[in-house]
Amino acid sequence: MIPVGEAMEKLFSLVEPVEIEQIDLADACGRVLAEPVAARRDQPPFPASSMDGYAIKAVEAMRDAQFRVVGESAAGRRFEGRVGPGQAVRIFTGAPVPEGADHVVIQEDVRRDGALISLLDEPGDKDNIRPAGTDFRVGATLEAPRRLGPSDIALLAAMNIPLVPVRRQPEIALISTGDELVQPGEDPGPDQIMVSNTYGLKAMLDLAGASVRMLPIARDTAASLRTAFELARGADLVVTIGGASVGDYDLVGDVAAELGMEQSFYKVAMRPGKPLMAGHISGSAMVGLPGNPVSALVCGEVFLRPMLNKMLGLGASAPARLQAPLSQPLLANGPREHYMRATLDAAGIHAFDRQDSSLLSVLTKANALLVRPPHDSAREVGEMVDYIPL
């Protein structure tokens, strides 16, 4: 058994960032920007009014001053002339400020009388003009790597970037193994249970940016496993779930070895989820997760999501850990790093009493994994502990 940190390093060494592809901006939210992109124009591209009002010369702006309105500048249709002394141009929010003008008086501060306006007040400090490039200049970049959110998408649109260079979605093939498993919707025999871990992992990894294929359940025969690995061919990462322990029916390691897997390691000193192996097989990275659904999902958070992030060009880093005070005491920990299902609230963090790795009903109530180092001593209420938010 190797420590979690060492396992993480070996897992990172199995994967590399995937290729870059150009996709439509409208589809890019949630994707990972792969290269810096540069604005193709200034925003605004011209000095723009930030108010509805009248564009005049600032030196003429004073209470009771009068101006003749000589034209209009609307968003999309500027006033083509020049504003001379004693002249004003009707202007709307976002419209180009005409040549010769360097101040916009807001319409509430003006009395209009036919083609004449007069100012009702002293002008304020603000000129109500956004200079060209106020938001960004041509060539200004949005840096990469970066997972694109809604405001990034709006910024890229404003920069006139219709196609965005992103990492393609890494392909992950999921193989659940076991004679006891049936698909939801089927009628299980008395000895059977529903497959659940691939459903949870697919949801998790799709959300995190992968393209996940759920393969048919592999039976506990070498032939069935070989077929499953064949179907997984071409994936960036093949994940088996179950069948990686030492029971007589745990065939995954044997079949993978027969298919040429170079095993990177076997078993990690963690709870839940001891059985975990990894290596390369037929050009894909391969990870074998334990079959208990909670173990599989915790391993997904702790190992698969960081591997996926590396494939997406986001670097190789273990899940970020935060700290919170304990709201209930903890007993001493054993020799394995323990990822306890926990609840974080205003009072602090506390682990659930029931930590058995078969309890999905507990995992769905958890909003954090409380992380305990190997051989951690007993902890009192108020002591700070590490956690990974879920």
State which of positions 247-306 bind a second copy (CB under 8 A): 247-249, 291-293, 297, 300
What is d(CA 339, CA 12) in angstroms, rounded to the nearest whole number? 20
Min dist CB 245 to a second copy, Å, is 6
Q: Is 60 in the site for a second copy (CB under 8 A)?
A: no
Min dist CB 193 to a second copy, Å, is 6
The residue (of 181 and 302) whose beta carbon lies closer to a second copy is: 181
Q: Is 188 in the site for a second copy (CB under 8 A)?
A: yes
* CA distances in angstroms from 69 to 89, 111, 155, 388, listed in the order given: 5, 12, 36, 63
Return the range that interacts with a second copy (CB under 8 A); candidates 110-118, 133-141, 311-319, 375-383: 133-141
Min dist CB 16 to a second copy, Å, is 25
Min dist CB 257 to a second copy, Å, is 20
Among 175, 363, 370, 388, binds a second copy (CB under 8 A): 363
Q: Is 221 in the site for a second copy (CB under 8 A)?
A: no
Amino acid in the structure at residue 245 = S
3-state per-residue secondary structure call for 159-173: CCCCEEEEECCCEEE
Q: Is 193 in the site for a second copy (CB under 8 A)?
A: yes
Please list, in sequence order, all residues whose beta carbon lies within 8 angstroms of the beta carbon of residue 124, skipping any fewer than 6 positions away.
none
The CA radius of gyration of the chain, in Å to the nearest whole number, is: 31
Min dist CB 43 to a second copy, Å, is 7
Q: Is 99 in the site for a second copy (CB under 8 A)?
A: no
Amino acid in the structure at residue 231 = L
Q: Is 138 in the site for a second copy (CB under 8 A)?
A: no
Among 9, 102, 147, 196, binds a second copy (CB under 8 A): 196
Q: Is 184 in the site for a second copy (CB under 8 A)?
A: yes
Q: Is 38 in the site for a second copy (CB under 8 A)?
A: no
Min dist CB 220 to a second copy, Å, is 7
Among 57, 78, 167, 336, binds a second copy (CB under 8 A): 78
* CA distances in angstroms from 285 to 14, 164, 178, 237, 269, listed in the order given: 6, 27, 22, 5, 21
Among 52, 99, 102, 376, binds a second copy (CB under 8 A): 52
Q: Is 83 in the site for a second copy (CB under 8 A)?
A: no
Min dist CB 147 to a second copy, Å, is 12
Between residue 143 and residue 162, which ones bind a second copy under the rule CB under 8 A? 148-162
What is d(CA 68, CA 64) in angstroms, rounded to the nearest whole number? 13
Q: Is 131 in the site for a second copy (CB under 8 A)?
A: no
Min dist CB 346 to a second copy, Å, is 10
Q: Is 345 in the site for a second copy (CB under 8 A)?
A: no
The residue (of 291 and 348) whose beta carbon lies closer to a second copy is: 291
Binding-residue total with a second copy (CB under 8 A): 91
Q: Is 74 in the site for a second copy (CB under 8 A)?
A: yes
